[in-house]
Structure 1
Amino acid sequence: MVDKKAESKKKAAVQKKKTIKASTGAWWKTSSKEEKTEVPQKVSKPAKKNTPEKAAAKKTNSGKKKARKPSTPVKSDSLAEVTAKNKATQTEEKSTAKGKGKEPQKKRASNGNKEKAKKAPQKAKKEPATTEKAPLLKLLINAEEPEECRLALLADGHLDSIHVSTASSKQTKNNIYRARIVAIESSLQAAFVDYGTDKNGFLPFNEIHPEYYKQEISQKNKKLIEQRQWKKLRIHDVLERGTEVLVQVVKEEVGNKGANMTTYLSIPGRCVVLMPGSDSHGISRKISGEERRSQLRDIMQNLRVPEGVGWIVRTASLDITKTALTKDVRYLTKLWTEIRKKGQSLNGVGMVYQDHDCVLRFLREHFTPEIKEILVDDLAAFEKVKDFLEMLPARQRGAKARLHKGSRPIFNQYNVEDQIESIYQPYVALPSGGSIVIDPTEALVAIDVNSGSTGKGRNFEESIFKANMEAATELARQLRLRDLGGLIVVDFIDMRINKNIREVERQVKKAMKRDRAKVDTSRISKFGLMQLSRQKLGAPIETSNYRVCEHCKGRGVVRSVETLALFYLRRVQT
């Protein structure tokens, strides 16, 4: 009996120790088996997520309370049952996750099919890229009056370029003169020459051929000449007054400025330009294709071009034949020998060679195969046009020459007179309601773009962009018509989108490609200004047809009556 009571007491003591260990907060001292057995009880009742420190504090507090009043131990499941339950829950979660993951994939697949179905008709809707139609070019020649000859090039009925030659102001460009050096300006590195007109010509030092240098030159300058270091030479060391030279007009007189001269002569033809005194040879950059360039180079090298005469094959030789090229070279060579003989035999200064008249000069420089029709109102000019067309190769004879016999003048019949009068006006209207104002000054040409009624639409940015695009096309045409050169500043309407700004810049460059003059453009600045530099091919058309007002002296304004009365009253009193 004693043994049974003692054993029962020992068992009760062991159970008390186990309950105390299980209820205390010393969780780091518990065995792994006891931890595993207690996990499923916590999983069955999910607890709030707490930090380990808070959980430990709660366990210590609960352990103290339970130590005072120990509770009966909770029956725990066996380890095998717990692991089986965990595996079952994991498999269920995986299956549900897979089921949920498959549904959006199916939806995405269905959406993808719908997108493909939508894209299919879009591809079918794409239209083929349309190329811009080339404008129909027509040339009108008004040579009926002997005092004036006018040539107008129309593109789809609109005036594209105008060339006027009057008897009072004849063009002197490309004319060759025998001249005499009358002054040498060391500060300008230039000389002034007398060639038989009222104003002396301006001859820069880099345009003077070394054959006109004086004979008595220092050894230092001779070495520089042999090494062709022209920039290190001074004009007064190698040139002297009174030297007679053969010069050619590069740029005509403008205002008070004399004509620009050069001693490097160039005799232009339809296909070739001969350059006496030069040893350079070249082919126009616009002729592309190495085969064609090599063919033209071989033809020119086989021809008997005199020594010391350079040449340049022009763009018009793209489709030219060998016989036509040979005829042009022979004609220019014969012309050069005549010019040289006349220059040597002429006494004093004067003209040695005069360029062709306005009709032949225009056809030589500006004729292209795109011109489909030429209308002439004078019989003599009509014969010149026919002779010129017969000299062209068969591929370039697409133009038809006709003699105008209508009752109305040729320019009136094609509405050209009104378009010519608009050239002399500063205000130019644009198709969408805007306008541009052109104001030539002594320093530069200012062009202002106005929106007008264009900016009244709902989309302000789009309407402004449209006005600037129209102005970009029109200003290039106006510069050609008025023959304005030098520095040009265009004040476009302010745009906010950079894409539109770049598009306007591209439109200006595209419109300037038809210009024969060299044009350099800049980007539009943050102030909306764009700078252009255009080569001056001649005097502006306005200078030959207009004169400065005697009253306002070109200002365009006069004094009011009150101010003028007080002005003369003060002069009387003094």
Structure 2
Amino acid sequence: MTHKRMLIDAAHPEETRVAVLNGNQLEELDVESSTRRQLKGNIYLATVTRVEPSLQAAFIDYGGNRHGFLAFSDIHPDYYQIPVSDREQLIAEDEEARAAVTETDEDEEEEDLDPKDTNPSSKAIETIGGDDIDEVEDRRVNKPIRHYKIQEVIKRRQILLVQIVKEERGNKGAALTTYLSLAGRYCVLMPNTGKGGGISRKIGNNIDRKRLKSVVSTLEILEGMAVIVRTAGAERGKAEIKRDYDYLIRLWNEIRELTLESTAPALIREEANIIKRSLRDVYTRDITDVLVEGDEGYRAAKDLMKILIPSHAKKVQPYKDSTVPLFSRYHIETQLESMIGREVKLKSGGYIVIDSTEALVAIDVNSGRATRGRNIEETALKTNLEAANEVARQIRLRDLAGLIVIDFIDMDFHRNQTSVERRLKEAMHKDRAKIQIGRISPFGLLELSRQRMRPSITETTTDTCPNCGGSGIRRSTESTALHVLRGIEEDGVRYKDSEIEVNVPTEVALYMLNYKREALAEIEKKHDFKIIISENNTLIPPQFTLVQHGAPAPHQTDKVKQNGTKLEEDREPAGNETKKRKRRRPRRRNKGIAATDSSPSNTKPAEDISANSFEKDSVEANEPNNETPKKRRRVRHKKSAINQTKNVNSSELESTPPAVAAENDAALSKANDNVKTNSTETDYLNPEKHSPVTKRPDGNSNVTIVGTDDQVKNTDDTRRGWWQKLAD
């Protein structure tokens, strides 16, 4: 006789694991991480954030990562904002409908217990398994009540007490309901559901059902509440069921008191942790012992067992072997490793492959090296029968849910297909989730749907691969090399006359240098740039980067006109000037005559200055162009300024005292003597080769330019280039 054990690994607070062993084979597994705690069953005080008439649903802020989804059919009439009389009538109709559903279910269950029942495989789709807690949702009436719509009875910012019935997954928020349920060891209390209680459908013994109905009738259930007796209470007496019911009533009173003191959104009650859930829902009387690793976990399990089943508290024992971990002692770690992989070996030599996609879970059965049959049909039948048991076990252990498609090995005879279907259904009866199983199609496919109890073991213990993004594949080295070459050639025009560095993964760099040298040389010759291949182990195919070297920055590039003159905006800054000068529209050369320097070195008869300037302005004004009125006003302005300057300079020259004039002449003579004295030491000040002050070629001396004649000429050409550019 094999021993059945429950093992609880609570040695690390970050992760707690619970396993049920039947002999040496793993039958049940549950894992809870501190960073991914289960939300299903939690009760929140929440707020309505948006009412969506197109969906006939509301989005609820309960304090989670995303807003929850609340369907109109899951909203209790107590929350309807309608007259009291209408609300009472709706509640009465709702309770009558639930009572009718309960009676119909019980009648159907009694008919199902008829010994004359036909072959179960005669139905196209058969429902098996399911937890007692999930029957609460099945007993609800999900049809809309009367003629109301959600936008008429539910308003934004309304406060609701909700419970999570489906976990968040991907981009989908949690599914919520206002019909609450509290699960105990033997009972499930529905505090705001007047009708719909009864006995679990999984209790098949007709005698037990009648006895439990009489027990429930003596519980004095409060008005507006309902109770469902769970499968674990099938053989329990009145005292044990009554004690469990009283515990749930006390729990509901605590929830009500905490709700009145809280402000939405707030967590009102958190569903039990993994240890409590396992002892409440998974533990059965045929389990011989419960071994717990970890002091805190042991104390929690011991105290809880004293409350749930006091007579079984002695079965909870601490694991004391410090040399070998609990799961390693019973060879569970090796079985867990195989659960994460996609391939599972069968004893006959065959194997099954499990792949999860967004739409469904695909399971493929292969014969592999199985050769036990006398012919192909017998080999296929034996492999499929063995695979049916293993598929049911893997679905239960991995918590696979949703649509599942199994591709069995093709069989020619219909009786063999029926045998495989029957074997799979028998193996699925151990599952606590609700399952709907179809039949094998002509293509050899069997479809089934499994209720999602909690996140799968893969979602709980793994993360998406950053290299492949969860696809399990990546681009090959050859394809990545060609991808890089195309990228270089596509951007080749921008890298002309420069040097580019191509960073690629190591294997791609080796492939390109060994097999694509000619292609690289051809690209270099075609686009006139140099390519450097560098390895970068942080990159993942087909990733690569291009870095440009050797090309000057855009602000340092020489923009040369057709005559070869360098533009002023591209000249390097002089002296300590680090910032690029702001480009401004240059003024006309004669605009600042009124501010002319009157130093002796720049002194010139005002008549000559005015005459030259006036002649130039007259020529410019008389040139055939499309002048605007604004330009004509500027010309008149300048003529007026010239006349004023002429008068001012003339008066200054006439009014200069003789003593001041003599003083100025003496200072000028002294400066010239100093220049001649220093000419032997500083050749660049020799007046024969250089001139410290040079007049503009056009004769204007309103701007002083220091430098050689060539520098002055270049500067003047540069300024003419600016002017010509802006004029164009």
User: Could you say which TM-score interval applies, normalised by the shorter chain?
Assistant: 0.7 to 0.9
Kept in 2, the 8 Å contact 1:369–1:399? The answer is: no
The reply to whether residue 379 of structure 1 matches residue 295 of structure 2 is yes
Alpha-carbon offset, residue 388 of structure 1 = 4.0
Q: Taking structure 1 as reference, are residues 505 and 226 closer, same or farther at Cα in structure 2, changes over 3 Å only?
A: same
Structure 1 residue 222 displacement after superposition: 9.8
CA distance in 1, matches of 2:409, 2:205: 42
CA RMSD of aligned residues (A): 2.4
Offset of 1:415 from its aligned partner? 0.6
8 Å contact kept, 1:217–1:238: no
Residue 140 in 1 paired to residue 7 in 2?
yes
Which residues of structure 1 form unaligned runs of 5+? Answer: 1-132
Return the offset for 1:288: 4.1
Counterpart pick for 2:149 among 230, 234, 244: 234
Displacement, 1:304? 3.9
Secondary structure, counterpart of 2:454 in structure 1: coil
Shift of 1:488: 0.6
Distance 2:9 2:390 in 1: 25
Q: 1:503 aligns with which of 406, 419, 423?
A: 419
Q: Distance in 2 between matches of 1:480 and 1:279?
A: 34
**Following superposition of structure 1 onto structure 2, how do residues 52-451 of structure 1 map, counting pairs within 5 Å?**
136-215=3-82, 230=144, 232-280=147-195, 281-391=197-307, 397=312, 400-406=315-321, 407-451=323-367
Alpha-carbon distance in 2 for matches of 1:446, 1:289:
37
Distance 1:456 1:165 in 2: 41
Q: Counterpart of 1:180 in 2: which secondary structure?
A: strand
How far residue 404 of structure 1 moved from its aligned partner, in angstroms, is: 1.1
* 3-state secondary structure, aligned to 1:230: coil
Q: What is the CA–CA distance in structure 2 between the aligned matches of 1:311 and 1:532, rounded to whole Å?
A: 31
Q: Is the 8 A contact 1:374 1:399 kept in 2?
A: no
Gaps of 5+ in 2: 95-142, 492-728
Deviation sequence 1:426-468 (CA, Å, 0-9, x none): 1001110001000111111100000101147542211111100
Aligned residues: 439
Give the counterpart letter for 2:469 in structure 1.
K
Corresponding residue of 2:395: 479
Q: Output one character per residue of 1:62-96: Cα deviation in whole Å (capped at 9) or x when no partner.
A: xxxxxxxxxxxxxxxxxxxxxxxxxxxxxxxxxxx
Alpha-carbon shift at residue 215 of structure 1 (Å) = 2.5
1:183 to partner: Cα distance: 1.7
Shift in Å, 1:206: 1.1
Instruction: Tell me how far 1:294 sits from its aligned partner.
Output: 3.6
8 Å CA contact 1:152–1:160 kept in 2: the answer is yes
Q: For 1:456 and 1:282, how far apart are their aligned partners in 2?
A: 50
Map of 1:46 onto structure 2:
none
The alignment's TM-score, normalised by the length of structure 1, stands at 0.72
Which residue type is aligned with residue 546 of structure 1?
T
SS at match of 1:452: coil
Q: Which moved more, 1:437-446 or 1:303-312?
A: 303-312
**Alignment match, 2:437:** 521
Helix, strand or coil at the partner of 2:362: strand
Between the aligned partners of 2:78 and 2:70, the Cα distance in structure 1 is 15
**CA–CA distance in 2 between the matches of 1:521 and 1:293?**
27
SS of the residue corresponding to residue 475 of structure 2 reads coil
Alpha-carbon contact 2:70-2:175 (below 8 Å) kept: yes
Are the counterparts in 1 of residues 75 and 177 from structure 2 also a CA contact under 8 Å?
yes
Q: Which residue of 1 aligns with 2:376?
A: 460
- Residues 408/326 of structure 1: CA separation in 2 closer, same or farther (3 Å cut): same
Query: Cα–Cα, structure 1 residues 450 and 288, in superposed 2: closer, same or farther, change >3 Å?
Result: closer
Shift of 1:173: 1.3
Cα distance in 2, alignment partners of residues 223 and 403 from structure 1: 56
- Change in Cα spacing, 1:216 to 1:567, as seen in structure 2 (3 Å) is farther
1:83 alignment partner in structure 2: none
TM-score (normalizing by structure 2):
0.57
Does structure 2 conserve the Cα–Cα contact (< 8 Å) formed by 1:137 and 1:370? yes
Q: Relative to 1, partners in 2 of residues 1:571 and 1:355: Cα closer, same or farther, differing over 3 Å? A: same
The answer on whether the counterparts of 2:373 and 2:382 sit within 8 Å (CA) in structure 1 is no
CA contact (8 A) 1:343 1:352 kept: yes
> How much has 1:536 moved relative to structure 2?
0.7
- Cα deviation, residue 292, structure 1: 3.5
The Cα shift of 1:512 comes to 0.2
Structure 2 residue identity aligned to 1:563 = S
Identity of aligned residues (%): 44
CA contact (8 A) 1:319 1:393 kept: no
